[in-house]
Structure 1
Amino acid sequence: MGREIAHVMSFEGLDWLERNSREKEENTNLALASLPLSDNSIVADIGAGSGFYTSKIAKLIPNGKIYAVEIQDDAITYLKKIATNDRLSNMEVIKGTEQSPNLPANSIDLAFMVDVYHELQYPAAYLTALKKALKPNGQLLLLEYKAEDPKVAIKPEHKMSVKQAKKELLANGFKLIKNATFLPLQHFLLFKKTD
C-alpha cells in the first residue's frame, strides 16, 4: 500500500529495547498511563520483544491477563523467564506466526504493538487474525515512530505516518478513534474494529 515493509528487528536488539534512556526518550510512563485499561483487562502485547511493556502492564491489571506474543524463539525464552522470575501469574507467552498472533477468538480487550506494525511481513493477514481475537468492542493501539518528523532519528522504513497507518488499517477493518500527540517520538494511534 505504498510502503516498504521493514525487516523484523532480531532479538539481538535486546539492549536497544532495554536501554536506560528509553523512558526519557519515549516517555514510556505516559504511554502506559494513557492505555485504555481496567484492572481486569485482557491485553495482548504483539511483538513483545523483551517484555519492556508487558511486565509493566501485567502489574497494572492484577485481575486481568496479558499475552506476550512473539515469533522469535530467543524472545519467547526470555519472556518466559520474566514471567517466572517476576512471578507474573497473569502473563502468558504465546508463539505467534508471521500471519497470526495465535490468540483465542473473541478474547482480547486491547491489542497493542510498540514499534511493531511496520515490521509485519503480512499485515493484511495478521490484522484479519487479530480482528478475530478482539472482542466486539476490542481496540488496537499502535505506537509507531513519527514518519512526519525528520528529527526522529530512525530509518524511514521503521517509521509510520498517521496517513499511512489510517489507510492500511481502514483497508483491513479498523477505524482510527484516537490520535494522541503527547509522545515525543511516537504516534499513539487507537483503532477499533469497523465490522
Structure 2
Amino acid sequence: MNHRWQSRWLNGALILLIGFTVLLGGCQTSPATTTTSADAVYQQRSPSRDGIGKFYMGREIAQVMGHLGAGWLERPSREREEKPQALIKALDLKPTDVVADIGAGTGYFSFRISSLVPQGKVLAVDVQPEMLAIIEAIRQEKKVGNVETVLGSTTIPNLKAGSIDLALMVDAYHEFDHPREMMQAIAQALKPDGRVVLVEYRGENPLIPIKPLHKMTQRQVRSEMAAVGLTWLETKETLPQQHILFFGKQA
C-alpha cells in the first residue's frame, strides 16, 4: 500500500485517537420519552452519548466523525481489519462507470476506485469542506484526472439526476442527518440500472468492537432503503466485519 501522499496532510496531527474515540467504545440508551417533530418522519429524544438524539425508523442517528478524525480513515491497520480491496472487487465495476463515493472523507476509496474506471470517473462527495480539501490536495499530488470533489449538504448530495452508475457509502449512512431526504436524492441521481451499495459494520454481531450506533443490522438497512423505493438485490458477506448491501431502483 502506497502511503507516500499522507506525509503532508495526514501526519500525527490528524489525531488517530480522535477518530478511534469516535468509533470505538460503548453507547448509552436514551430515555423513552419522545417529542415528535413536525415532519413526523423523525423523532427527537434526549441524545445518547454517541448519538444526536434524532431517531429515524427506530434508529438513533450517530454523531458524525469530523475531519480531525481523518487519521482513523487512513490508519495502516485498515487493510487488515476491513479488506478494502475485497470490497472494491465485490463492486464489479465497469471501466465506464460513474461512481459517487458518498461521505468520501479523505478519498480512501475514491482513489482506489479511480484506476478501475478509466473511461468513467469518481465523484467524491462530502459535507465537510476540510475533507474535500484533503482530497483535492491528494488529487493534484497524484495527478488523478478522474476524481472530482462535490460539496453536498445534509439533505442532498448535489448530484445530477440520472448521472451515476453506482453510489457507494462506506460506514457513512448511519451518520446521515437526514437519511430519507439524502437517499431519495441519491436514488434520483442513479441511472435506470444504477446501484446503491451500503457498507456497514454488522449490528447483529455484538463482538465487533464498534460503537452500537456506528453499526447497522441488515434488516434495518433494508427497511430504510425500501422506504425510499430502493429494492434489495443482494448482500455479500465477504468482509471480516461489514455487510455489503446492494440495492437498485424499483422497476
Q: By the TM > 0.5 criterion, same fold? A: yes
Could you tell me how far 1:29 is from its partner in structure 2? 1.0
User: In structure 1, what is the Cα distance between the partners aligned to 2:59 and 2:146?
Assistant: 36
Match of 1:161 in 2: 217
Runs of 4 or more off by more than 4 Å in structure 1?
A: none
Query: 2:204 aligned to 124, 130, 148, which one?
Result: 148
Which of 1 and 2 has higher RCO (CA within 8 Å, sep 6+)? Answer: 1
Match of 1:95 in 2: 151
Match of 1:56 in 2: 112
Match of 1:69 in 2: 125
Q: Pairwise CA RMSD of aligned residues?
A: 0.8
Q: In the alignment, does 2:99 pair up with 1:22?
A: no
Tell me, what secondary structure is at the counterpart of 1:9?
coil
Query: 2:239 aligned to 183, 191, 195, which one?
Result: 183
Query: 1:4 aligned to 60, 74, 93, which one?
Result: 60
Q: In the alignment, does 2:169 pair up with 1:125?
A: no
User: In structure 1, what is the Cα distance between the partners aligned to 2:217 and 2:90?
Assistant: 20
Query: 2:169 aligned to 103, 113, 118, which one?
Result: 113
TM normalised by structure 1 equals: 0.98
User: In structure 1, what is the Cα distance between the partners aligned to 2:183 and 2:86?
Assistant: 26
User: In structure 2, what is the Cα distance between the partners aligned to 1:105 and 1:31?
Assistant: 26
Please list the CA deviations of residues 112-141 of structure 1 after superposition, one character each: whole Å capped at 9, or x if unmatched: 000001001101100111111110111000
Q: How many residues align?
A: 195
Could you tell me how far 1:36 is from its partner in structure 2? 2.6
Query: 2:101 aligned to 28, 45, 55, which one?
Result: 45
List gaps (5 residues or longer) in structure 1: none
Match of 1:84 in 2: 140
User: In structure 2, what is the Cα distance between the partners aligned to 1:7 and 1:122?
Assistant: 12
User: In structure 1, what is the Cα distance between the partners aligned to 2:162 and 2:212?
Assistant: 35
User: In structure 2, what is the Cα distance between the partners aligned to 1:129 and 1:118?
Assistant: 16
User: In structure 2, what is the Cα distance between the partners aligned to 1:104 and 1:80?
Assistant: 21
User: In structure 2, what is the Cα distance between the partners aligned to 1:149 and 1:87?
Assistant: 41
Tell me, what secondary structure is at the counterpart of 1:60?
coil
| Letter of the 2:85 counterpart | N
User: In structure 1, what is the Cα distance between the partners aligned to 2:199 and 2:69?
Assistant: 18
Larger Rg: 1 or 2?
2
User: In structure 1, what is the Cα distance between the partners aligned to 2:210 and 2:155?
Assistant: 25
Please list the CA deviations of residues 71-94 of structure 1 after superposition, one character each: whole Å capped at 9, or x if unmatched: 001101101111111111111000
| Letter of the 1:63 counterpart | Q
